[in-house]
Amino acid sequence: MTATSDGTRDLVILGGGLVGMTLALAAAKKGMSSHVIDRADPAELTAEGFDDRATAISTASWHLFENIGIAEGLEQFACDIASIAVTDQNKPGRLDFVPGEGGGTLGRMFPNRRLRLALFEAAAKEPLINWVAKAHVTERQRSEYGVAAVLADGQNLKGRLMIAAEGRQSPTRDAAGISIAKWDYKHRAIIAGLTHEKPHGNVAWEIFYPAGPFALLPLNDDADGTHRSSLVWTVSEEDAAGVTKLGDRAFLAEIEKRMGGVLGKVLSVGHRSSYPLGFHHTAKITGERLALIGDSAHGIHPIAGQGLNLGLRDVGALVEVLADGARLGLDPGDAELLKRYETWRGLDSFMVALATDGLTRLFGVPGKAASAVRRLGMAAVQRTPMLKSFFMDEARGVSGDLPEILRA
């Protein structure tokens, strides 16, 4: 449905980040129009050096990118994850997840900047998307008749369904009075790009220490053949300030000690940033003419690399529900449609959140006995092909009731 004469669109999406903009593009593919409102400046978000992070995109999320038309432009920046190696402090008992012949990859790594550029360029060309950047929302209106976002510059952007896609601190969620369960892990993730001596072989490493996981994620080599990986190192809140202030030589020595030589000598480290780690999950993900997606609805530990992918599953489910409703002539804000979205996504996102929280706590138990028990369990999984297949399907995002737009 296109915009009406008074500018009313199907969706008012508050938050134009990776999840919000993907929703706008996916909705447009189904003929739904949207206002996308974001307070950030897209030029800053896509500037070199603004965000050096890289993100693992699951197989299902890649299918979504293919189906909304941005995969072709991203292909050259992809680094396949061919396998995942899991160890407890680099002790014997390593667990390897390697797809069988013809099984494809376990995901692909992309620089966040490239994901944003691809989404923003596609959105700028899409007539069904009215993208309003550098905007401040002063009032959010929802009633049985429609929704609206009033901006500081006086614009009144109307729609039929409001989407909260603003992230963990969503003001739209809070204004709706939706309760949230949350806790702070009292840890921070230190993120940096590394260059190293040995090729990574497209292996993602997850090395667990009592203080938190230490992940090495494969990236494409530089043009001169220099091998690169992304480091995600979880440290306690009290240690984070000291670790981030270490000089390059001392920092390299600390990470080499934890890497156990899997990538050889570390040659250099890029800009370091750190982010607080916490868990949150809302009691519900819908309200009157309101749907929550992505981190507005749930925030999980990065231990399994599923945060963004979980949000993209929200996108797929919501778009499918709304498109099915449109074929029946239903309004996007119809309560029964939102109930279907709630039922579909509420349990799946909660189970993933619980699983990642459980893993975080399990591998955080100190002591030799706990480590021995973990390694016994990992060895059992290593010997059980059915269990390994289950975990690999979870990593690919292809388990459960998958929305159509996330399928090949």
Q: What is the pLDDT of residue 53?
A: 87
Q: Per-residue pLDDT averaged across 146-161, rounded? A: 98
Token duo for residue 358: 């459980």
Instruction: Give phi and psi for 46, each to the nearest 5.
Output: -105, 10
Q: Residues 48-57: pLDDT tens digits?
A: 887 888 999 9
What domains does the chain contain, in order, with CATH numbers?
Answer: 9-182+278-406 (3.50.50.60)
Q: Residues 273-283: pLDDT tens digits?
A: 899 988 888 99
Instruction: Give phi and psi for 385, each to the nearest 5.
Output: -55, -35
* In contact, 11 and 28? CB cutoff 8 Å: no
Lowest model confidence (mean pLDDT) among 152-161, 298-307, 338-347: 298-307
Among candidates 268, 403, 271, 291, which has minimal Cα distance to 342? 291
Q: What is the pLDDT of residue 366?
A: 65
Q: What is the pLDDT of residue 217?
A: 96
Among candidates 137, 142, 111, 113, which has minimal Cα distance to 42? 113
Q: Residues 369-399: pLDDT tens digits?
A: 556 666 666 666 676 776 677 666 777 878 7
Residue 14 has pLDDT above 80, yes or no: yes
Residue 400 has pLDDT above 80, yes or no: no
Specify the pTM.
0.92
* In contact, 110 and 393? CB cutoff 8 Å: no
Q: Residues 318-351: pLDDT tens digits?
A: 999 999 999 999 999 999 999 999 999 976 776 6
Q: What is the pLDDT of residue 351?
A: 60
- Using CA atoms, how far apart are residues 213 and 361, in angstroms rounded to an integer? 11
Among candidates 274, 278, 277, 214, which has minimal Cα distance to 241? 274
- Using CA atoms, how far apart are residues 311 and 19, in angstroms rounded to an integer? 6
Q: What is the pLDDT of residue 85?
A: 93
Q: Average per-residue pLDDT in the chain?
A: 90
150 Cα distance to chain centroid: 29
Q: Per-residue pLDDT averaged across 238-251, rounded? A: 92
Q: For residue 156, name the pLDDT band (cuts at 50, 70, 90).
A: very high
Q: What is the pLDDT of residue 248?
A: 92
Q: Residues 179-217: pLDDT tens digits?
A: 998 988 888 999 999 999 999 999 999 998 888 889 999
